[in-house]
């Protein structure tokens, strides 16, 4: 029994990959943010005093509350752009990876930027 030859799979167009990446980044950002905030809250609640918790945990918990709405369109655009750059990769996986990286980096990036702006305003 012979099977017909399968045609070669063509990658999705850049537009289709960007659309899929944007949709998944739009959903992934709040879900990953809530998951990381929940983990940080659980770890912080195990400490006897707030002074015992590290600055990283405090930033991971309170950072998305401060910068979540600012970062959401940025992450959606990044998810769409990176998915369009690499259409052969799974757009879903790329968008979720970009969102996870941005959720972890956003509190530190925005706090560093606010320090720079505050330092420039004082001088």
**4 occurs within a structural domain:** no
Residue 68: inside a domain: yes
Q: Is residue 8 part of a domain?
A: no
Q: Total domain count for the chain?
A: 1
CA dihedral 96, 32, 72, 84 (to 10 degrees): 0
Q: Note whether residue 67 is domain-resident.
A: yes
User: Which pTM was predicted?
Assistant: 0.70
DSSP code for 11: P
Boundaries of domain holding 72: 14-122
Q: Note the pLDDT tens digit of each residue in 46-104.
A: 766 666 667 777 777 777 777 777 778 888 899 999 999 998 888 899 999 998 888 88
């Amino acid at each position: 029994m012979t099977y017909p030859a399968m045609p070669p799979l063509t990658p999705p167009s850049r537009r289709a990959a960007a659309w899929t990446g944007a949709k998944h980044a739009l959903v992934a950002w709040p879900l990953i943010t809530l998951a990381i905030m929940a983990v940080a809250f659980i770890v912080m609640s195990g400490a006897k005093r707030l002074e015992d918790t590290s600055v990283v945990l405090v930033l991971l918990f309170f950072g998305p509350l401060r910068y979540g709405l600012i970062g959401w369109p940025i992450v959606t655009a990044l998810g769409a752009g990176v998915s369009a750059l690499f259409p052969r990769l799974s757009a879903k996986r790329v968008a979720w990876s970009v969102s996870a990286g941005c959720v972890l980096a956003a509190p530190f990036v925005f706090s560093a930027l606010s320090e720079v702006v505050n330092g420039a305003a004082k001088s």
